[in-house]
Amino acid sequence: MPDPSAVRRTARLVGRPSSGELIPDELRFISDLGRSLLFTVHPKKVASRVAAALRSGLDAEVCAFVAELENIGVVSCAFDRKGELLTDFLDKVKFEKWLRFMPPQIGHPEANRDEFLLTENTHGLEYVSPLHINGEVKGAIVLGFKAADDFSETVGRAIEAATQLAAMSVNLSAHYEAAINTSITRAREEDRKFTEAVLDALPVSIYVVDRDYRIVSWNRHREIGAQGIPRDAAIGRNVFSVLARYPEGRVRQEFERAFETGEIERIEQQTTAEDGSTRHWLVSKVPMRDPETHQITHVITVGEDVTLRVEAVHAVGRAEKLAAVGRLAAGVVHEINNPLATISACAEALEQRVEEGDFNDSPAMEDLNEYLGLIKSEAFRCKTITTGLLDFSRIRTGERNAIDVVEILRSSVKLISHQKRGNEIEFVIEAGDDLPRVNADGGQLQQAVIALATNAIDAMPNGGKLTFRAASSSKAVAIEIEDTGVGIPTEDMSKIFEPFFTTKEVGKGTGLGLAVCYGIVTDHGGRLSVRSNVGKGTTFTILLPVSKAD
């Protein structure tokens, strides 16, 4: 703002005749205005200072500054006689028309009120001075005077000089503002890209949801894999529609708890991929607070794939159970076999006496035959269990040789195909050429393959397809036994290798077959895994290291 004395001196020049040159008071006014604009770097402040100085310095009823600047937009400001800031002061339709026709000035004493651009009704004369920026008219300074006597050529020259100064100042400030905005925008963009790069580099799935349950961030690991969804298909959408495959009620409750309690919650989940493999996840819901209001504004969801960790824990637990059962079996099986042998021998002796006619006169002859049959069948079933326990607890050394897994598969299929229950099963062998050999006991490996195949046949009571597949990499040979049966429920997947766990009816399975297979494969330095889709089928995979000879 110019100093008050300069304003008063210039105001006294209103109506004074002039020779066409700026007089000292005018020069002082322009000088004061220039000094006030020297360190003004914001276009809106330039507009405000110019409009305020001209209104007060020239004793105008109203003064408005309007300019449309590149990269900034419209900058406008107006003050009335009382020095109060006006809001709605411009007839935009007339102003746009004036910009299109662009006369150098309008509103000289001879102009009529219909041409006025200002909507204030307190002035009887209006003067418009165009703002020339980079060779184009980008706006104007508009002054309204109460009467024609308040305007003179001296005032006009002061307005024109102030307009040129204002045009130069607002242009420089606009460039400075644009440069600052560009720098800030670039810095923000670089910061955003860096943050996204950090989130994308993390080996976890991350997404962020606001209080309206809209997704505002979605990292790269949330895009990949069987459960992945592209970022463009997720950002801005409702989280429940994006995660439609999950139960909405459960997901909603998780987010509501996070927003309500503000506490971090960790949830263990497991999913089944299209190939039937089971993945384990540790999902964390992390509330994010506004640093000023401390209100929870967003919830960060972090999903970590902990499949390897869970499988390792299960493997350790399984090994401990297998060792405990093995020690138990080694200690008690022989003690159980002795009374079983006695029971079986007594039953056979009684059967022989029945055949010799010793009990022909007994009225309970039919009951005796039935009971003897039950004793023999149950003793035989106990014998099967103890034999399985012995197989399970036995240290499997055997004779390890470099063997061809394809030959093992062929001989296994030949044996299984002769079983009556395999009549409605289609057997298929898929094996690559020149597979490397594995160092194994052929008998034990065949035992494992047959046990897995037998389980697969039991899972296809109405027939189906049983595929034996062999493939290799540089370090391992994989044997797959794939069926098209009923599949294994997800809740049973972690228990199928445990001793005595079975889903078969009582009397149709001991629950030791898969445990024995697991022991055989483990003893050979390999791994036994499973993937299954309920209603579609199950695939067991034996992974064995390649023989060092190969």
Domain assignment present for residue 157? The answer is yes
User: Could you tell me if 413 and 387 lie in one domain?
Assistant: no
User: Could you tell me if 468 and 527 lie in one domain?
Assistant: yes
Whether 141 contacts 62, CB under 8 Å: no
pLDDT at 468 over 80: yes
CATH number at residue 174: 3.30.450.40
Half-sphere exposure of 49 (CA within 13 A, CB side): 26
The secondary structure of residue 135, as a DSSP letter, is T
Average pLDDT over residues 288-297: 90
User: Could you tell me if 121 and 54 lie in one domain?
Assistant: yes
Domain assignment present for residue 447? The answer is yes
> Which residue did the predictor score with more confidence, 512 or 468?
468
User: Could you tell me if 49 and 160 lie in one domain?
Assistant: yes
Domain assignment present for residue 188? The answer is no
User: Could you tell me if 379 and 421 lie in one domain?
Assistant: no
User: Could you tell me if 276 and 242 lie in one domain?
Assistant: yes
Range of the domain at 349: 310-393
pLDDT at 156 over 90: no
- Report residue 243's pLDDT band, with 50, 70 and 90 as the boundaries: confident
Mean pLDDT score across all residues of the chain: 81
Beta-carbon count within 10 A of 77 CB: 22
pLDDT at 21 over 70: no
| Least confidently predicted of 30-34, 45-49, 136-140, 511-515 | 511-515
End-to-end CA distance of the chain: 93
CATH number at residue 512: 3.30.565.10
The secondary structure of residue 276, as a DSSP letter, is S
- Report residue 215's pLDDT band, with 50, 70 and 90 as the boundaries: very high
User: Could you tell me if 466 and 335 lie in one domain?
Assistant: no
**Token pair for residue 106?**
């309008």
User: Could you tell me if 433 and 319 lie in one domain?
Assistant: no
Reported as type and span, the H/E element at residue 53 is helix 43-57
pLDDT at 245 over 60: yes
User: Could you tell me if 289 and 224 lie in one domain?
Assistant: yes
Radius of gyration over every alpha carbon of the chain, rounded to an integer in angstroms: 46
- Report residue 80's pLDDT band, with 50, 70 and 90 as the boundaries: very high
pLDDT at 270: 77
- With b for 16 or more beta-carbon neighbours within 10 A and e for fewer, the 177-206 pattern comes to beeeeeeeeeeeeeeeeeeeeebeeeebbb
Domain assignment present for residue 196? The answer is no
Average pLDDT over residues 246-272: 86
Q: Domain ends where: 366, 393, 420?
A: 393
Average pLDDT over residues 239-257: 85
Helices (H) and strands (E) in the chain, counts: 12, 16
Domain assignment present for residue 187? The answer is no
> Which residue did the predictor score with more confidence, 388 or 532?
532
pLDDT at 122: 84
Tell the residue number behind the tokens 């997704």, with chain if given: 215
User: Could you tell me if 97 and 135 lie in one domain?
Assistant: yes
pTM to 2 decimal places: 0.47
Q: Domain ends where: 361, 393, 425?
A: 393
CA 541 to chain centre: 31
DSSP structure string for 2-40: --HHHHHHHHTTTT----SS--HHHHHHHHHHHHHHHT-
Whether 505 contacts 381, CB under 8 Å: no
> Which residue did the predictor score with more confidence, 293 or 1?
293
Domain assignment present for residue 186? The answer is no
pLDDT at 331: 61
pLDDT at 11: 40
User: Could you tell me if 225 and 161 lie in one domain?
Assistant: no
3-state secondary structure of 493: coil
| Least confidently predicted of 2-11, 115-124, 316-325, 494-503 | 2-11
User: Could you tell me if 531 and 386 lie in one domain?
Assistant: no
Smallest Cα–Cα separation from 485: which of 453, 510, 513, 507? Answer: 453
Q: Domain ends where: 286, 305, 324?
A: 305
For 243, list phi and psi in degrees, rounded to 5.
-100, 45
CATH number at residue 297: 3.30.450.20
> Which residue did the predictor score with more confidence, 17 or 186?
186
Number of domains comprising the chain: 4
Domain assignment present for residue 192? The answer is no
Report CA torsion sign: 224, 226, 232, 234: negative
